[in-house]
């Protein structure tokens, strides 16, 4: 039901208040980068950067530079302020959140390289100070190399000041909590929105410069809404670590093997530090290479599969193009993939995991089902540019009337971003009626997988009373649980 003019005005006022709250502990620093002259080859070791001009922003608020493997150096000194819009910052931690579009990216802090990335591993959140002291400073340099086919861009850069006490979160975290709550209320309980609007009016804006008075007003706000937490917590977002890796795209096959090795080593290390982390990967072709060339790594993966912490969601030998191959080629993709899974991991795959494949012919339900596959999964159908695909969870009926339960996956290559996760999960629930949804955190396309920062954020948001229950799970058990909600859909219209 469309909101009345009065309700729309209240909604807009709520969003404005939450943005104001968010800006008390988040600050864009996109306009204050100094651009090095051409020919620069290393971070500045003195104050010469002070003579460099400020980088210019385009109409998208990006710092852009020419295509063709052109190197750009940027530098900025961060001097820790006493406050942000009046809110005292002393004692908070400071992180720098960066997002780029670059073939290569290197981040230096006080002259030391602390992070590398590329066009797919294209964002990071770096700790610059565990506990800020006003007046102290940190120098940050960026080396960015543009793609051969496109302009490069520093897309965004933001300082984030965070509380280390999860029971007393910083203003931006509270704003994100309330954004999540508002997302669900708007979709499923709009009659409670006036409560939320009224609650934020109690924020002690006149005491913002005194944290001893302002922070308790945020605590009171959260307490006043606490009775909505069980309603929100009855929903569950199931996270599954993911690292999409194209075997053949913009790099030679040697890069594919290196990316797979690096990704899987990273996942295994993170699973030691974060026992809750579950992970999934397709493409038995990758595991076959590891078995032959990195046997110890392969054995470690086999153990994780046995322990239920790693799923071989495969079904096919690779994630193939499905526009050009004929039926026999597809059948052999399934045969070789399932035979390998059964031989090396003791079980066939229950799901055809094809998040990034193009083209799904009408014979697939029959072929997949005959190969022992119970589910079909992709997110490519959401890429339609003119006619949105209408289903999230459906039964796909093929050419011979064989039907296979199918799911439109969440986006791949994503972070733990509460507002995006809540919006996706609410849309999923509205479409399917299911209060359990899936999320796939992890850098992708060129491998990468989950990061330590993602997992720390997941733990923090799992502890929030204003976020759905957050757990790490696997896709097939989730689909088994919600299978009764699947609706029919035939390829023939």
Tell me if 110 is assigned to some domain: yes
**Structural domain boundaries, residue 18:** 5-23+170-225
Would you tell me the crossing angle of helices 295-306 and 327-345 to the nearest 10 degrees? 80
pLDDT digits (tens, 9 = 90+) for 115-129: 999 888 899 999 999
My answer on whether 73 and 131 are in the same domain is yes
Residues sharing a CB contact under 8 Å with residue 212, sequence separation 6 or more, in sequence order: none
Tell me if 413 is assigned to some domain: yes
Q: What is the pLDDT of residue 400?
A: 94
CATH number at residue 89: 2.60.120.260
Six-digit token string for 458: 């997941």
Six-digit token string for 315: 């079904």
Q: What percent of the chain has pLDDT over 70?
A: 97
pLDDT digits (tens, 9 = 90+) for 50-89: 999 999 999 999 999 999 999 999 999 999 999 999 999 9
My answer on whether 157 and 279 are in the same domain is no
Average pLDDT of the residues of the chain: 94
My answer on whether 264 and 296 are in the same domain is yes
110 contacts 76 by C-beta, under 8 angstroms: no
Number of domains observed in the structure of the chain? 3
Per DSSP, the residues of 476-491 read: HHHHHHHGGG-EEEET
Confidence of residue 4 (pLDDT cuts 50, 70, 90): low
My answer on whether 244 and 113 are in the same domain is no
Q: What is the pLDDT of residue 382?
A: 87
Q: What is the pLDDT of residue 327?
A: 93
Q: What is the pLDDT of residue 48?
A: 92
Q: What is the pLDDT of residue 8?
A: 81
- Where do runs of H (alpha helix) occur along 274-356? 284-293, 295-306, 327-345
Tell me if 231 is assigned to some domain: no
Mean pLDDT, range 130-138, rounded to an integer? 96
Nearest-angstrom CA–CA distance, 448 and 256: 11
My answer on whether 358 and 486 are in the same domain is yes
My answer on whether 215 and 253 are in the same domain is no
Nearest-angstrom CA–CA distance, 244 and 284: 13
pLDDT digits (tens, 9 = 90+) for 436-481: 999 999 987 776 889 999 999 999 999 999 999 999 999 999 999 9
- Pick 444 or 408 by higher pLDDT: 408
pLDDT digits (tens, 9 = 90+) for 418-434: 999 999 999 999 999 99
Q: What is the pLDDT of residue 358?
A: 87
Tell me if 230 is assigned to some domain: no
Asked which of 182, 206, 225 is the last residue of a domain, the reply is 225
My answer on whether 203 and 323 are in the same domain is no
Six-digit token string for 434: 């299911």
My answer on whether 54 and 154 are in the same domain is yes
Would you tell me the crossing angle of helices 171-188 and 193-200 to the nearest 10 degrees? 160
Confidence of residue 169 (pLDDT cuts 50, 70, 90): very high
Asked which of 122, 139, 162 is the last residue of a domain, the reply is 162
Residue 2 has pLDDT above 80, yes or no: no
Residue 144 has pLDDT above 90, yes or no: yes
My answer on whether 155 and 47 are in the same domain is yes
Asked which of 112, 128, 162 is the last residue of a domain, the reply is 162
Q: What is the pLDDT of residue 488?
A: 62
My answer on whether 79 and 196 are in the same domain is no
Residue 489 has pLDDT above 60, yes or no: no
My answer on whether 255 and 372 are in the same domain is yes
CATH number at residue 482: 3.20.110.10
Mean pLDDT, range 340-353, rounded to an integer? 97
Tell me if 315 is assigned to some domain: yes
Confidence of residue 11 (pLDDT cuts 50, 70, 90): confident
Tell me if 418 is assigned to some domain: yes
Tell me if 364 is assigned to some domain: yes
Tell me if 92 is assigned to some domain: yes
Query: What does the radius of gyration of the chain's CA atoms come to, in whole angstroms?
Result: 24
Q: What is the pLDDT of residue 484?
A: 81
Q: What is the pLDDT of residue 493?
A: 44
My answer on whether 304 and 357 are in the same domain is yes
């Amino acid at each position: 039901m469309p909101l009345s003019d009065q309700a729309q005005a209240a909604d807009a006022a709520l969003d404005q208040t939450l943005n104001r709250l968010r800006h008390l502990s988040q600050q864009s620093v996109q306009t204050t980068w100094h651009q090095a002259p051409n020919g620069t080859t290393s971070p500045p070791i003195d104050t010469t950067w002070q003579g460099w001009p400020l980088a210019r922003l385009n109409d998208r608020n990006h710092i852009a530079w020419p295509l063709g493997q052109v190197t750009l150096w940027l530098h900025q000194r961060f001097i820790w302020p006493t406050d942000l819009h009046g809110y005292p910052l002393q004692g908070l931690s400071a992180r720098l959140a960066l997002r780029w579009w670059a073939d290569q990216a290197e981040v230096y802090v006080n002259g030391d390289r602390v992070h590398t990335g590329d066009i797919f591993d294209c964002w990071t959140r770096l700790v610059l100070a565990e506990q800020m002291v006003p007046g102290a400073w940190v120098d940050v340099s960026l080396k960015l190399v543009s793609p051969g086919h496109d302009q490069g861009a520093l897309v965004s850069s933001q300082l984030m000041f965070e509380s280390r006490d999860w029971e007393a979160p910083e203003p931006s975290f509270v704003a994100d909590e309330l954004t999540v709550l508002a997302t669900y209320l708007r979709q499923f309980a709009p009659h409670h929105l006036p409560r939320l609007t009224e609650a934020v009016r109690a924020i002690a804006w006149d005491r913002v410069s005194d944290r001893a008075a302002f922070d308790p007003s945020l605590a009171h706000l959260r307490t006043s809404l606490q009775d909505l937490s069980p309603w929100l917590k009855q929903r569950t977002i199931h996270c599954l670590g993911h690292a999409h890796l194209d075997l053949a795209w913009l790099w030679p096959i040697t890069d594919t093997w290196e990316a797979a090795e690096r990704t899987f080593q990273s996942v295994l290390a993170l699973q030691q530090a974060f026992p809750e982390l579950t992970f999934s990967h397709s493409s038995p072709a990758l595991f076959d290479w590891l078995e032959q060339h990195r046997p110890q790594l392969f054995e470690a993966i086999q153990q994780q599969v046995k322990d239920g912490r790693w799923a071989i969601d495969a079904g096919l030998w690779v994630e193939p193009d499905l526009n050009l191959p004929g039926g026999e080629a597809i059948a052999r993709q399934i045969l070789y993939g399932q035979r390998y899974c059964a031989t090396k991991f003791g079980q066939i795959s229950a799901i055809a995991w094809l998040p990034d494949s193009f083209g799904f012919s009408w014979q697939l339900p029959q072929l997949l089902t005959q190969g022992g596959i119970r589910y079909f999964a992709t997110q490519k159908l959401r890429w339609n540019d003119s006619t949105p695909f209408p289903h999230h969870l459906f039964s796909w009926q093929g050419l011979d009337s064989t039907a296979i339960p199918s799911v439109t996956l969440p986006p791949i290559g994503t972070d733990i971003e509460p507002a995006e996760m809540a919006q996706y999960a609410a849309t999923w629930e509205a479409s399917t009626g299911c209060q359990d949804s899936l999320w796939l955190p992890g850098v992708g396309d060129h491998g990468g997988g989950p990061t330590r920062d993602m997992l720390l954020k997941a733990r923090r948001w799992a502890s929030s009373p204003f976020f759905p229950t957050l757990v790490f799970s696997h896709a097939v058990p989730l689909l088994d649980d919600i299978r009764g909600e699947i609706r029919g859909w035939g390829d023939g219209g």
